[in-house]
Amino acid sequence: EAGVAQSPRYKIIEKRQSVAFWCNPISGHATLYWYQQILGQGPKLLIQFQNNGVVDDSQLPKDRFSAERLKGVDSTLKIQPAKLEDSAVYLCASSLAGGSSYEQYFGPGTRLTVT
Amino acid sequence: AQRVTQPEKLLSVFKGAPVELKCNYSYSGSPELFWYVQYSRQRLQLLLRHISRESIKGFTADLNKGETSFHLKKPFAQEEDSAMYYCALLAYSGAGSYQLTFGKGTKLSVIP
């Protein structure tokens, strides 16, 4: 089966600019996750979708980050405006469902550099 | 709040030597623990989970609730084991959702 797809793979922007990342989960996977991984750290969950509804966005900095999954398939994560500390790899993952029994499959990530 | 600690950033072992990657956690509920691995230029992927109690690629991990640990072990390291390893804890975060909390990771380097 095809894996989780993400684009772009790399992005360099200046601070205060905007950026958007796209994720296409594995077909049939109802649950989609966005993680932020800062250099030297483990991934940190930003937001979790179940179909097109938000299940958990408690760690999403909502003043500058937004995410949507309008049709319950693809998702976009946006940062506006970006700060230097947003430099990180943004990982998308998906699973069949959100329960504890379901493995999360990760995409290749988008490496964002904010200068 | 839950926390996962991996005390070693880097672990170097010789090929054929035993490997132990340490992981400690703090969580008030009943934990579900995982090890994820990321090989060079590959995606993050699940290696094993404690509830399945299986050995994957020769690796095992036992949950020790008394010591709140979930160390990853392999008796004989192979060069292909060189990778970044993350310990993760799945915790219930409310409204029917579960959240994975990752440690900072340990880079395992197997010396030929």
CATH of the domain at B40: 2.60.40.10
Mean pLDDT, all residues of chain A? 94
In a domain, A97, yes or no: no
CATH code at position A62: 2.60.40.10
Q: How much is the pLDDT for A99?
A: 74
Q: How much is the pLDDT for B22?
A: 98
In a domain, B20, yes or no: yes
In a domain, A104, yes or no: no
Domain containing A11: what range?
5-90
Nearest Cα to B72, choosing from B17, B3, B23, B11? B23
In a domain, A115, yes or no: no
Label residue B57 left, alpha or beta by phi (over 0 means left) and psi (-120 to 50 means alpha): left
Count structural domains, chain A.
1
In a domain, A66, yes or no: yes
Q: Would you call B86 and A99 a contact, using CB atoms and an 8 Å cutoff?
A: no
In a domain, A86, yes or no: yes
In a domain, A83, yes or no: yes
The per-residue pLDDT for range B21-42, each reduced to its tens digit, is 999 999 988 889 999 999 999 9
In a domain, B22, yes or no: yes
Q: How far is A62 from chain B (nearest CA, A)?
A: 18
CB contact B4 to A (< 8 Å): yes
Q: How much is the pLDDT for A52?
A: 86
CB contact A25 to B (< 8 Å): no
Q: How far is CA A70 from CA A19, A49, A61, B69, in A?
A: 18, 10, 20, 40
In a domain, B35, yes or no: yes
The per-residue pLDDT for range B29-78, each reduced to its tens digit, is 888 999 999 999 999 999 999 888 788 899 999 899 999 999 999 999 99
| DSSP, res A96 | S
In a domain, B39, yes or no: yes
In a domain, B31, yes or no: yes
In a domain, A113, yes or no: no
In a domain, B112, yes or no: no
In a domain, A25, yes or no: yes
In a domain, B86, yes or no: yes
The per-residue pLDDT for range A77-102, each reduced to its tens digit, is 999 999 999 999 999 999 998 777 78
CB proximity under 8 Å: B 28-47 to A: 32, 43-46
The per-residue pLDDT for range A24-57, each reduced to its tens digit, is 999 999 999 999 999 999 999 999 999 889 999 9
Quote the percentage of chain B above a pLDDT of 70. Answer: 99
In a domain, B88, yes or no: yes
Tokens of A31: 């649950």
Domain containing B31: what range?
3-107
Count structural domains, chain B.
1
Q: How far is B2 from chain A (nearest CA, A)?
A: 12
